[in-house]
Amino acid sequence: MESFTVGEIVDVRNYGRAEVIEPLVTEPGARFHGRIRVRYQRDGKTYYARPENLRKTVQVKQRVLLCHSTTHYRTCAASVVNWGDAVLEVGSHEGECTWLLSRRCRYIVGVDKSPATVAAARRRYPELRFEEVDGFDVPALKALGPPDGSGFSVVLVDIGGIASLSTVAALVGLYYKEFPYNTKIVVKSVFLKRMVEDCLPYNTEKNNPWALLPGGAGSGAGARAGAAGGATDGDSAGADSEPSTERSARPGTDAEQGEEDGEDEDDGEAEGEGEVGGGAQAALPGGRGRRRGGRARGGTGGRGKAAEAAGETEGGEG
Ligand SMILES: C[S@@+](CC[C@H](N)C(=O)[O-])C[C@H]1O[C@@H](n2cnc3c(N)ncnc32)[C@H](O)[C@@H]1O
């Protein structure tokens, strides 16, 4: 069983961010034996949670996080979002993910270009803010930032998992350029993820695969200025001079093996099974009750009921 330490910030399945305030209760016969006391960041309430419902939060240095399914997108978002974050969701649809993330951050806004879905989101989650904005309208997006002027620290992009690569890439490229460097961008896109997995960045480090080519920077004979892989930045001449017969020595076909699984937009995985970074998991229901072509809902006012039911009734203190 994973261990949690007092003071650690965790994600509680179906609840949100919390701080561990008491270690595992081990006294035999104690009322909350086997549970860990946490305090929710959202409202300061405390709760004895089952350890299996706690997930370590994770921080990654990468700026853009790519996901191929709704489950992974929501889990990834929940993993990187912190209570101090101001979050923008582009493509908020009827607001479910925005609502789930609202328990994990101080400020969140959902936008969608479809008036009907914005209206539905407002009806379902009247306490949250949803606006009809096209994701390409960056000035309008920025204007939705927190009143303190701090701007968005996390941007979630889900304009459809199988939206065209060029559209998603253009949108992500725009945000990459227009939002500050420390703004994390979480993207759901089957095609962008697949393309990025097919990329191998060229670099001139000694341990890069091209350095093994004869004449490259890493060859035992020493670097020859201008040879393939041996030049420093801007070495287009060096790249051109690479002998064509050596191209077969390049790696790069590994990526062709591809990923056959999980390329659906909604893969219907069990809730909270996604991973991000070093494997830490966050608990968010993704595609819960959803199957391609439709979404099951609990009816009017039924938002989040399944999520609540999964954990909010047990061992609660208050
Ligand atoms: C798959 S849904 C989003 C689901 C949502 N993220 C969730 O997890 O519940 C995709 C949404 O993106 C919206 N969309 C598509 N293109 C957009 C654009 N350029 N700007 C804003 N929203 C867009 C669609 O109207 C649709 O509601």
Which residue's C-alpha comes closest to atom 1 of ligand 1?
Answer: 160
Distance CA 103, CA 101 (A): 5
Which residue's C-alpha comes closest to atom 4 of ligand 1?
Answer: 93
Distance CA 57, CA 224 (A): 46
Ligand 1: which atom is nearest the Cα of residue 74?
Answer: 8
Cβ of residue 266 lying under 6 Å from some atom of ligand 1 = no
Distance CA 122, CA 128 (A): 7
Cβ of residue 286 lying under 6 Å from some atom of ligand 1 = no
> Residue 250 has what DSSP assignment?
-
What pLDDT does 213 receive? 64
Q: What is the pTM of this model?
A: 0.69
Query: H or E segment at 66?
Result: strand 64-67
Say how many Å lie between the CA of residue 175 and the centre of ligand 1. 16
Say how many Å lie between the CA of residue 242 and the centre of ligand 1. 45
CATH class for the region spanning 64-197+262-311: alpha beta
Lowest mean pLDDT among 66-70, 160-164, 182-186, 313-317: 313-317
Query: H or E segment at 42?
Result: none
- Residue located via tokens 């097919």: 198
* Contact call for residues 15 and 311 (beta carbons, < 8 A): yes
- Residues contacting residue 185 through CB under 8 Å, at least 6 positions apart: 63, 64, 65, 154, 155, 157, 172, 175, 176, 179
Structural domain spans, the chain: 9-56, 64-197+262-311, 209-251
Cβ of residue 96 lying under 6 Å from some atom of ligand 1 = yes
211-231: per-residue pLDDT in tens? 666 665 544 444 443 333 333
Cβ of residue 55 lying under 6 Å from some atom of ligand 1 = no
133-180: per-residue pLDDT in tens? 999 999 999 999 999 999 999 999 999 999 999 999 999 999 999 999
Say how many Å lie between the CA of residue 134 and the centre of ligand 1. 10
Cβ of residue 109 lying under 6 Å from some atom of ligand 1 = no
Count Cβ atoms within 10 A of the Cβ of residue 49 and give its class: 0-12 exposed, 13-18 middle, 19 or more buried: buried
Distance CA 91, CA 178 (A): 18
Q: Is the pLDDT of residue 242 over 50?
A: no
What's the angle, vertex CA 228, arms to CA 225 and CA 233, rounded to 5? 65
Which residue's C-alpha comes closest to atom 25 of ligand 1?
Answer: 114
Mutate to test the pocket of ligand 1, among 92, 111, 122 (most ligand atoms within 8 A of CB): 92
